[in-house]
């Protein structure tokens, strides 16, 4: 279906956000107030190269624009890996993506659609989403953590994402001091070795010889399995320590946690709060711990929020 503009009713102006994950790509259309109007979820052709992955985003967007007649103002993309948010290129991608490192994401989208596009790391986009429209809406300072296959982190300081001189600020999953277990990155004792979904499954298998997913460990813990409870307890204590290190270093005391593992909130929250209570931040200011609210939309909504911020800044310039 094609919609001709100017057919009598005023056009609705919308923003788009895309979350390009290793398995699925989520595309949303939202209002200027970041209310999601519609969404599609498509398989990511991660082995087929950057052009194919952006082709999936564009295909999803066309579907949405057919369903929600409107005028697109801009597109934000959140993608895993190290990205250059300034040039809109992917710098470093994991092995599961082919032809993605070096790919000019925003230029390809702008050429196809004729609207401005912006690129962010997915964890940064997650936190921007939760600050813009989620659990920590309106906060000036927040730490964001995603507990998924790995552990991601991002810092929101003074109302903006903190990138750091090498783009790695907030990378909390790979700070050391959490034991001696080998990490996926080749280091040892990183937070990720205790708190990621993959690690929760591995630590449980070490204790019991039983191989299951993090979700399986959570189900066992809910059933009273002491090994499963202990694995979640160790994850929660490690997360609390990472929160306290952050609070001690940069005085950020509001924390939002998302990602698949955070679905086991009733198992994670008590050990995190217990460890936080035992060692309160030196500022004396209590930690505010929140579970992410946007669920699977967080990265895409955060990416759309980046586009909104940039477009508004462009209008003022
Ligand atoms: Zn690591």
pLDDT of residue 242: 97
CA of 152 to the centre of ligand 1 (A): 11
CA of 248 to the centre of ligand 1 (A): 21
CA of 309 to the centre of ligand 1 (A): 32
CA of 312 to the centre of ligand 1 (A): 37
Q: Examine the pLDDT at 316 and tell me if it is beyond 90.
A: no
CA of 146 to the centre of ligand 1 (A): 14
CA of 207 to the centre of ligand 1 (A): 22
Share above pLDDT 70 across residues of the chain, in percent, rounded to a whole number: 96
CA of 238 to the centre of ligand 1 (A): 14
- Going across the sheet that includes 13-20, the strands are 36-43, 24-30, 13-20, 71-79, 117-121
Task: List helix spans (H) across 105-166.
Answer: 105-113, 122-133
CA of 239 to the centre of ligand 1 (A): 14
pLDDT of residue 22: 87
- Pick the residue with more confidence: 11 or 160? 160
DSSP 171: -
Q: How many CB atoms lie within 10 A of CB 60?
A: 21
Q: What is the DSSP pairing of strand 24-30 with strand 13-20?
A: antiparallel
CA of 121 to the centre of ligand 1 (A): 18
Number of residues that make up the chain: 317
CA of 226 to the centre of ligand 1 (A): 27
CA of 182 to the centre of ligand 1 (A): 8
CA of 307 to the centre of ligand 1 (A): 31
Q: What confidence tens digit (pLDDT) does each residue in 273-291 have?
A: 999 999 888 888 999 999 9
Task: List helix spans (H) across 114-154.
Answer: 122-133
Name the CA dihedral angle for 130, 136, 141, 147, rounded to a multiple of 10 degrees: -60
CA of 250 to the centre of ligand 1 (A): 22
pLDDT of residue 314: 86
C-alpha torsion sign, points 40, 41, 43, 46: positive
pLDDT grade for 232, boundaries at 50, 70 and 90: very high
CA of 176 to the centre of ligand 1 (A): 8
What does pTM read for this prediction?
0.93
CA of 211 to the centre of ligand 1 (A): 22
Q: Examine the pLDDT at 1 and tell me if it is beyond 60.
A: no
């Amino acid at each position: 279906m094609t919609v001709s503009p100017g057919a009598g009713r005023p056009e609705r102006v919308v923003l788009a956000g895309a979350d390009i994950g290793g398995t699925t790509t989520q595309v949303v259309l939202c209002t200027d107030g970041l209310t999601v109007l519609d969404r599609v979820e498509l398989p990511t052709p991660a082995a087929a190269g950057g052009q194919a992955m952006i082709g999936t985003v564009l295909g999803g967007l066309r579907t949405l624009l057919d369903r929600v007649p409107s005028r697109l103002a801009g597109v934000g993309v959140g993608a895993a890996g190290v990205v250059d948010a300034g040039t809109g290129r992917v710098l470093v991608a994991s092995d599961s993506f082919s032809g993605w490192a070096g790919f000019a994401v925003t230029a390809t989208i702008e050429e196809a659609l004729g609207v401005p596009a912006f690129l962010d790391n997915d964890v940064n986009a997650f936190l921007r989403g939760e600050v813009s429209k989620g659990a920590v809406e309106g906060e000036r300072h927040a730490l964001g953590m995603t507990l998924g296959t790995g552990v991601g982190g991002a810092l929101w300081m003074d109302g903006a994402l903190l990138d750091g001189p090498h783009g790695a600020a907030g990378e909390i999953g790979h700070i050391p001091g959490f034991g001696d277990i080998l990490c996926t990155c080749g280091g040892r004792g990183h937070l990720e070795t205790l708190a990621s979904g993959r690690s929760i499954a591995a630590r449980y298998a070490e204790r019991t010889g039983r191989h299951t997913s993090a979700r399986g460990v959570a189900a066992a813990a809910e059933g009273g399995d002491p090994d499963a409870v202990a694995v979640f307890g160790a994850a929660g204590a490690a997360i609390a320590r990472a929160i306290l290190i952050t609070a001690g270093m940069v005085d950020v005391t509001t924390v939002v946690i998302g990602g698949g593992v955070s679905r086991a909130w009733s198992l994670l929250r008590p050990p995190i709060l217990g460890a936080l209570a035992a060692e309160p931040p030196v500022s004396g200011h209590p930690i505010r711990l929140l579970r992410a609210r946007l669920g699977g939309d967080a990265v895409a909504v955060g990416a759309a929020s980046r586009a909104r911020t940039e477009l508004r800044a462009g209008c003022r310039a």
